[in-house]
């Protein structure tokens, strides 16, 4: 199978992680699961434990909340599939670390471009999981609005470069590009809304 970039999106509990894992299992070979969650409280620790148990035993795991490109670069030649779950928490982690900086979004997008170059330069198929957070209410805080806007731009940039983009809702997946969806964002990032 040729190298691909696959984006799996949807709302909370829509089935994104399970679907992404099934894609990785179908591709086969050496799989690296990249987890971006941090256990800030007991409930999050329990969620992380459930996610760990759901992964096949033969997969390798890298738990990295922020420095994705730097952490992944040395290991890329060893894997056929990289499953990153999830971009949602990664963007949150980046923004929290840069909170109060006027260039927080620009720093996050620079990290995204580093990650995309790593995806495109290697031989592995990448499966990226992300939430759609722009369909709800307007967040009441400046950080919340920056987060929503930045994640929306990250999702657009990845979708424009992805070979396949799946939208999950209630455990059902739609292959958006196979249905004729085309990006508004050019792969270079020009024209972002």
169-192 per-position pLDDT tens digit: 999 999 999 998 888 755 555 445
- Give me the domains of the chain, ranges plus CATH numbers: 5-175 (3.40.50.300)
Name residues whose C-beta falls within 8 Å of residue 145's C-beta, 6 or more positions apart in sequence.
Answer: 138, 139
pLDDT digits (tens, 9 = 90+) for 157-166: 999 999 999 9
Closest CA to 120 of 85, 72, 88: 72
- Catalytic residue selected from 3, 51, 107, 177: 51
Burial 87-111 (b: 16+ CB within 10 A, else e): bbbbbbbbbeebeeeeebbeebbeb
Q: Answer yes or no: 51 catalytic.
A: yes
Confidence of residue 148 (pLDDT cuts 50, 70, 90): very high
Half-sphere exposure of 7 (CA within 13 A, CB side): 23
Single pTM value for the model? 0.90
Closest CA to 159 of 122, 133, 185: 185
């Amino acid at each position: 199978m040729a190298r691909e970039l696959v984006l799996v999106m949807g709302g909370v509990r829509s089935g994104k992680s399970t679907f992404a894992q099934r894609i990785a299992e179908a591709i086969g070979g050496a799989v690296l699961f990249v987890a971006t969650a941090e256990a800030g409280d007991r409930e999050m620790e329990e969620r992380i434990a459930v996610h760990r148990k759901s992964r096949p035993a033969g997969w390798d795991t890298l738990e990295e909340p922020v420095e994705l490109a730097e952490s992944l670069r040395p290991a890329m030649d060893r894997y056929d599939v990289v499953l990153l779950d999830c971009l949602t928490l990664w963007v949150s982690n980046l923004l929290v670390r840069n909170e109060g900086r006027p260039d927080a979004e620009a720093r996050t997008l620079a990290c995204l471009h580093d990650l995309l170059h790593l995806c495109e330069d290697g031989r592995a198929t990448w499966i990226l999981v992300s939430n759609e957070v722009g369909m709800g209410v307007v967040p009441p805080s400046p950080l919340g609005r920056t987060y929503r806007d930045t994640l929306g731009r990250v999702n657009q940039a990845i979708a424009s470069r992805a070979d396949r983009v799946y939208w999950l809702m209630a455990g059902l997946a739609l292959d958006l590009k196979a249905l004729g969806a085309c990006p508004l964002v050019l792969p270079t990032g020009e024209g972002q809304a």
